[in-house]
A and B are shown apart, each in its own frame.
Chain A
Amino acid sequence: GQQLNQSPQSMFIQEGEDVSMNCTSSSIFNTWLWYKQDPGEGPVLLIALYKAGELTSNGRLTAQFGITRKDSFLNISASIPSDVGIYFCAGLLGAYKYIFGTGTRLKVLA
């Protein structure tokens, strides 16, 4: 099946540091999405991107839809302990089919 290449796979950072992660694909997507999953729960949507080149912020989170429509990145500024979790990118193929990345596991050291 299809998957998105998401990197890094995991990262340990100090509280207060900025974080950057990205997703690349061989396919073109209409929509890019970023989710966060806390332990024992389902993913929750953080940011949705709908146009190539779009840059969108949600609090300390900023994400961009790549110009080629084949990539996207997510930045987290000034990380805090509750940022711990797994972050997933996802692309929408057509109107209904979602392809997810393999996830970036973030651990924040206080």
Chain B
Amino acid sequence: EAQVTQNPRYLITVTGKKLTVTCSQNMNHEYMSWYRQDPGLGLRQIYYSMNVEVTDKGDVPEGYKVSRKEKRNFPLILESPSPNQTSLYFCASSLTGGQYEQYFGPGTRLTVT
């Protein structure tokens, strides 16, 4: 089954403790992206990747890092999480950028205390 998977689905952590949220897709997509969703703000793009080893900042990249060493994986790294990064995070992928449909993962709900 074609899908985007994220792990973990739920995470509660403390300020400053480094964490990684994994994202994997099995559709051989070139484009992958991370979003955060907050009440009243919709989805905001954090980082995106056009292909392996090619990444760029979205609208709200501060406090986040990404890497794209393999085509199928696009982990989101929070080196020193803070409470304002408490949010619902979505990973998405598409065949290439632009006019191809993005497929979203199920989301990761992160709470930073």
Interface size of B by CB at 8 A reads 27
* CB-defined contacts of B101 to chain A, threshold 8 Å: 45, 48
* CB-defined contacts of A97 to chain B, threshold 8 Å: 45, 48, 56, 58-59
* CB-defined contacts of B98 to chain A, threshold 8 Å: 30-31, 92, 95-96
Contact status B59-A99, CB under 8 Å: yes
Measured CB to CB, the nearest residue on chain B to A89 is B42
Contact status A42-B59, CB under 8 Å: no
* CB-defined contacts of B44 to chain A, threshold 8 Å: 1, 3, 100
* CB-defined contacts of B97 to chain A, threshold 8 Å: 95-96
Name B20-58 residues within 8 Å CB distance of A.
31, 33, 35, 40-45, 48, 50, 56, 58
Q: Residues on B close to A: CB < 8 A?
A: 4, 31, 33, 35, 40-45, 48, 50, 56, 58-60, 90, 92, 97-99, 101-102, 104-107
